[in-house]
Amino acid sequence: MFVHLHVHSPYSFLEAGSSIQDLVDQAAALEMEALALTDRNRLSGAVAFTRAARAAGIRPLLGAEVTLTDGTHLTLLADGPEGYATLSQLLTHAHLSRPRGEPAVSPEALEEHHQGLIALSGCRRGEIARRLLWGDRSGALRAAQRYASLFGRENFYIELQNNRLPGGRALNAALREIAQRAGLEWVATQNVHYATPDRFPVYDALTCVRTGTRLPDVHPERRLNGTNYLTSPQEMAALFPDDPRALQNTLEIARRCRPALPEKPPNRFPAFPTPRGESTIAFLRRLTYQGAWRRYGRLTPAIRRRLEHELAVIEKLDVADAFLVAWDLVRFAQARGIRHAGRGSAADSAVAYCLGLTEVDSIRRGLLFERFLSLERAQKPDIDLDFEAERRDEVAAYVSRRYGADHVASVCTFQTYRARSALRDLGKVLGFSDEEIGPLAKRFPHIPADRIPQAIQELPELRESRLPLERYQLLFELAAQVAGFPRHIGTHLGGLVLSREPLARVAPLERAAKGVTILSVDKDDVEALGLIKLDLLSLRTLSAVGTATRAIQVREPSFRYEAIPLDDRATFQMLGEGETVGVFQLESPAQRALQARLGADSIEDVVASVALIRPGPIQGDMVEPFLRRRRGLEPVTYVDPRLEPILEKTYGVVLYQEQVIEIATVIGGFTPGEADQLRRVMTHYRSHQEMERIGRHFIEKAVARGTPREVAEVIFSYIVGYAGYGFCEAHAAAFADTAYKTAYLVRHYPAEFYAALLSHQPMGFYPPNTLVHEARRRGVAVLPPDINRSEKHCTVEEGRIRLSLSLVRELGETDVEEILAARASRPFTSLQDLCRRTRLTREGLTYLILAGALDRFDPNRRRLLFSLEEALRHREQPLTPGGSGPAQQRLDLAPRGPRPEVEDFSPDQRLLLEYEALGLTTQRHILTLLEPELRRMGVTPARQLRQMEAGQPVRVAGLLIRPHRPPTRSGRTVIFLTLEDPTGLVDATVFEHVYQRDGEAIFGGYPVLVVDGRVAWRGKGVSVEATRVRAFRRSPKLAPAAPGGAAG
């Protein structure tokens, strides 16, 4: 019959209209025995395609349509694993030897890398077809002979296509003639760019996106028609009626090719260089026990048993190298004073603890190793290490040096279309202006593009908006169809892959922004290639901790972050009041509300907190029972006594993934590895029937071990209630350590810590303005930037935070460095001096003035602005030694004569302008401008809510901070939002019926909201249950300046 050998998926970037799954499904529906994937200059879809094809019973053929340096195309197919490695190297060369985004294969590269490849002559942009279209028959024949000589006659085919283009018949006749004269075979392909004809419109629209054109525009890359789909064998026979050989040859090629990617990939992780004569596992064992002595002091039999168990699994899975590589990195970081912390399921490992990869004692916490690594799952270990953000790249550079640049690369990430990006790109194509599409796109929450139709129906901020939605009908339809299609390839923030053999043989490498070399395979597909991904993540919190620690040590040299006591009463008291703005993991409104109810008094409570505010516990109805039992309001009971040791730390509530594994082990008799697999299956279950089947399996095993059936059913209901969303306890414990310690810093060193948070933005939940006013509420004064005192980062001056120069708008990193460098020789003496000694732009200087950074020269900021022009003009006139020019310039004399009389900005104006310059205010809160009006409206300040009783009606208002809608137990929408006013933060809860009516106000982009509702108390936390939400639309009236510039 026929096999398609020239097919593009969305990994050809804006050149395909159907997903890989849709292509495979259609090929299966057409009963094709095989399908090739030949994306443009990439193999990024190889793993997903192979997986999908195998699942559908179709043999996957891998290849690529490559661009040659002369601009022509060539279709290449891998005839097996060697061919795949060759193609991967060829594509790597094509990407790395050329400017980014312009890969091309040179004849020399093709000469070097062609073994194991079957080549087809390509589409109309193939050299042979192109020459024929130009009328150069002899040139076409020579090209055919050249390719035949390079690849071998049996590995090069002339490619015929019938996409119903003018001149197609004549071209195909000429191509056949060339083939016959050159002694070559020929094949028919359809140059497929989508699965079915109805996907042509979206493909055409994406072509416009790619070429920067609109639909009515003509462009040579626009296809004339929609025939580039997966045609059936019958259609191919009709398109090539007198040429069955062209169709038959596709089958012969398909049957020649062996699987390019093996079902079980080999272990490609590099062998760690161990001391001579010592095996990897022996070296790991030695290091583990050395670490164990350091950690535990005395090695009990239980500790030894645990370590030996883990080492045995590590040895059987042949992953000791991964642990040693991670240990080596941590050692490097420690030697250079780079802050680090382990996270994730690696904290389930006692070996990881002994090696210093994590700070979680998994033995003491009773954490199950099998959550991290098990024989049954046989997956590669996922080791995640956080490093302070600014120095993470030093660690990555070390990896590259240690293992060889050819053997290390960053993992890539694909930025794919979601609702907003799809609307923007396709909106342009349909001719809408940026001014129209921008606001429309912003109305949509961050949802997948295929949820656009649903969002329009269900979300009040769209339904009730005054936008003419029917005008965008076609746009919505097209946007929904590109859900998940890759748009760009970029660097994954932390993932690195290391390989024993040169990585280019495993998958193609290319260059991302900033010259980073990336493996062009998605992070989730890396393991299928036999690679292990190490996550070296940048955590700005660690950077903030480092900065704060250094600042604290200026006045308290003995302070050590690692030595912070884990039982500080004052810190727990602060947590219990929900005063956690700035605390890692515990600062969101939901967390603040939880802390106020929980009253944490131990690190265990903090661990539980991290795990509780997640979709799973909320949807699984765990939060309330946990809190009630924790506070002794409800008895803790166990339906089976064997559950007690597993669940007592969480008061009988299933909270952690490790607990599910333990329950399945103890009650159901599963091995820990089987239990972890069970957990994973439950996480990804696709249907109710599947979950029922799992339930029956569990219950039967439990009953066989003597558990009464009804008890087994109840126990299973605990696990099902959690399914899919529970948190990994090890990860929670790892995070809790940092969460508690940052809380300690907030409580005892607020100036240093908030200065550090402000220095490492963007980070955390709250914007800088909120952090500044939180610091002020804690009694820490905040000083505006000062041209002669401020640094690149915020600093602490006698217990007060001095804002940095970096916070000033329009000042980039180089500007700040220039200021600091110039200032190093001597301080600036005037605006004119500053202008002369730096090349700051007019905008940068303006914002420095408005931020108050130049108040030392003249407290009248308006007058400073007026003199800016002259100062800039003097800068443009270069000094000529001995020449003419005002004597003042050469001698740096201050301007003579009285200062011009200029009335300064009013206090209100200064406040607004400060906000514009810094994005925050340092003395008064920006909302004080609205205070008279808000008072007239009967708004209650945030601070006064604590004096009110539950159920009392109240009106609150403030700057809107990050409204969000987490998933809920009931499935109905609940919005949590925070309003900030001059006295503090107010949390408000908006339930579904209010959201349906007022959602437009919440998500319409309004900066200030007014919320009517009732006071709600939960534990020590107070909030407002909203009954009405409105946008405050009036812009603030500024109080007129009094004569002489005094406060008005």
Partner 1 sequence: MRRIVAPITLTLPGQAGASHPAPPAGAVPAVLPLPGSTFCWRGRRYVIEAILDSWQEAGCWWEGEPVTEGFHVAFRGGGTGILLFRQPRGPWVLDRIDD
Interface residue with partner 1 among 215, 282, 639, 781 (CB under 8 A) is 215
Least spacing, CB of residue 250 vs partner 1, in Å: 16
Among 22, 25, 23, 55, smallest CA distance to 38 is for 23
CA distance 779 to 392: 34
Q: 81 vs 43, 295, 519, 521, CA distance in Å?
A: 13, 46, 18, 17
784 φ/ψ angles, rounded to the nearest 5 degrees: -65, 165
DSSP helix/strand/coil, 362: coil
Q: Which is nearer to partner 1, 236 or 757 (CB)?
A: 236
Rounded Cα distance between 69 and 480, Å, is: 36
- Rounded to whole angstroms, the Cα distance separating 724 from 690 reads 14
The binder of partner 1 chosen from 19, 26, 92, 231 (CB under 8 A)? 231
Label residue 197 left, alpha or beta by phi (over 0 means left) and psi (-120 to 50 means alpha).
alpha
Instruction: Tell me which residue has tokens 């359809």.
Output: 190
Which one among 55, 238, 405, 566 touches partner 1, defined by CB under 8 A? 238
235 binds partner 1 (CB under 8 A): yes
Q: How far is the CB of 477 from partner 1 (least distance, A)?
A: 11
Which window, 228-236, 246-254, 613-621, 714-722, contacts partner 1 (CB under 8 A)?
A: 228-236
**Contact status: 229 vs partner 1 (CB under 8 A):** yes
- 201 is an interface residue for partner 1 by CB under 8 A: yes
Tell me the helix, strand and coil percentages in the chain, rounded to 5.
Answer: 50, 15, 35
Long-range (24+ apart) CB contacts under 8 A made by 301-310 are 302/363, 303/350, 303/363, 306/350, 306/363, 306/369, 307/350, 307/351, 307/354, 309/369, 310/349, 310/350, 310/351, 310/369, 310/373
Handedness of CA 912, 914, 916, 920 (dihedral sign): negative
Work out how close the CB of 855 gets to partner 1 at its nearest, in angstroms, rounded to a whole number: 58
What DSSP character marks residue 971? S
d(CA 181, CA 604): 80
From residue 629 to residue 658, the character string flagging contacts with partner 1 as x (rule: CB under 8 A) and all else as - is ------------------------------
In 3D, which of 333, 790, 746, 334 has the Cα closest to residue 544?
Answer: 746
Q: How far is the CB of 223 from partner 1 (least distance, A)?
A: 7
The correct pick among 25, 79, 204, 587 for binding partner 1 (CB under 8 A) is 204
Asked if residues 940 and 956 have their Cβ atoms less than 8 Å apart, the reply is yes
Single residue of 54, 137, 210, 223 touching partner 1 by CB under 8 A: 223
Q: How far is the CB of 487 from partner 1 (least distance, A)?
A: 21
Residues recorded for the chain: 1048
Q: Residue 213 or residue 400: which is nearer to partner 1 going by CB?
A: 213
Binding status of residue 71 toward partner 1 by CB under 8 A: no
Tokens encoding 279:
């095996």
**Position 146: which residue type?**
R
Q: Residues 457 to 516: which contact partner 1 by CB under 8 A?
A: 474
- If the CB atoms of residues 241 and 277 are measured against partner 1, the closer one turns out to be 241
CA dist., res. 770 & res. 762, Å (int): 13
Query: What does DSSP assign to residue 409?
Result: E
Cβ nearer to partner 1, comparing 426 with 840: 426
Number of residues that bind partner 1 (CB under 8 A): 28
Rounded Cα gap, residues 81 and 84, in angstroms: 5
The residue range among 109-117, 195-203, 658-666, 1034-1042 that interacts with partner 1, by the rule CB under 8 A, is 195-203
**Residues from 136 through 175 that contact partner 1 (CB under 8 A):** 162-170
Q: Which of residues 778-797 bind partner 1 (CB under 8 A)?
A: none
Interface residue with partner 1, options 218, 224, 302, 563 (CB under 8 A): 224
d(CA 252, CA 437) in angstroms, rounded, equals 50
Q: Which stretch binds partner 1 (CB under 8 A): 227-235, 243-251, 307-315, 742-750?
A: 227-235
Q: Establish whether the linkage from the previous residue to 762 is cis, with ω within 30° of 0.
A: yes
810 near partner 1, rule: CB under 8 A = no
Nearer to partner 1, 474 or 554 (CB): 474
Closer residue to partner 1, CB minimum distance, 477 or 855: 477
* CB-CB contact of 241 with 169 (8 Å): no
Closest contact distance (angstroms) between CB of 232 and partner 1 is 9
Identify residues 425-464 at the interface with partner 1 (CB under 8 A). Answer: 430
Adjacent-strand bridge partners of 62: 37
Radius of gyration of the chain (CA): 33
- Across 667-702, b (16+ Cβ under 10 Å) vs e yields bbbbebbbbbbbbebbeebeeeeebeebbeebbebb
Stretch that binds partner 1, among 61-69, 220-228, 401-409, 570-578 (CB under 8 A): 220-228
Task: Tell me if 190 contacts partner 1 by CB under 8 A.
Answer: yes
Specify the stretch interacting with partner 1 by CB under 8 A; choose among 71-79, 216-224, 675-683, 775-783. 216-224
Under rule CB under 8 A, residue 133 binds partner 1: no
Backbone angles phi, psi at 4, to 5 degrees: -80, 125
Q: What is the dihedral of CA 142, 147, 148, 150, to 10 degrees?
A: 130
Q: Is 1005 among the residues that bind partner 1 (CB under 8 A)?
A: no
Structure-derived torsion over alpha carbons of residues 838, 841, 844, 845, reported in degrees to the nearest 10:
60
Shortest separation between residue 58's beta carbon and partner 1, angstroms: 21
Q: Tell me, residue by residue from 919 to 948, as one string, x for binding to partner 1 by CB under 8 A and - for no binding.
A: ------------------------------
For partner 1, the closer of residues 80 and 168 by Cβ is: 168
**Segment interacting with partner 1 (CB under 8 A) among 224-232, 594-602, 620-628, 979-987:** 224-232
- Tokens 């164990």 belong to residue: 292
Buried b (16+ CB within 10 A) or exposed e, 976-1000: bbbbbbbbbbbbbbbeeebbeebbb
1034, exposed or middle or buried, with CB in 10 Å at 0-12, 13-18, 19+?
exposed
Stretch that binds partner 1, among 215-223, 342-350, 658-666, 999-1007 (CB under 8 A): 215-223
Q: Is 56 in the site for partner 1 (CB under 8 A)?
A: no
The nearer residue to partner 1, 135 or 275, going by C-beta atoms, is 135
What minimum distance in Å lies between the beta carbon of 439 and partner 1?
A: 23
Question: Whose Cβ is closer to partner 1: residue 224's or residue 563's?
Answer: 224
Q: Is 239 in the site for partner 1 (CB under 8 A)?
A: yes
Task: Write down the least CB distance from residue 115 to partner 1, Å.
Answer: 35
- Is 375 or 469 the residue whose CB approaches partner 1 more closely? 469
Taking the least distance from each CB to partner 1, the nearer of 162 and 1023 is 162
Q: Which one-letter DSSP state was computed for residue 26?
A: H
**For partner 1, the closer CB: 200 or 722:** 200
CB of 935 to partner 1, least distance (A): 55
Which stretch in 218-226, 655-663, 666-674, 961-969 sits in contact with partner 1 by CB under 8 A?
A: 218-226
Among 115, 149, 180, 225, binds partner 1 (CB under 8 A): 225
Of residues 701-720, which lie at the interface with partner 1 (CB under 8 A)?
Answer: none
Residue of 226, 495, 726, 941 that binds partner 1 (CB under 8 A): 226
Q: Report if residue 517 touches partner 1, rule: CB under 8 A.
A: no
Q: Which residues contact 170 (CB under 8 A, 6 or more apart)?
A: none
In angstroms, what is the minimal distance from the CB of 767 to partner 1?
A: 42
Name the site residues for partner 1 (rule: CB under 8 A). Answer: 162-170, 190, 197, 200-201, 204, 215-216, 223-227, 229, 231, 235, 238-239, 430, 474
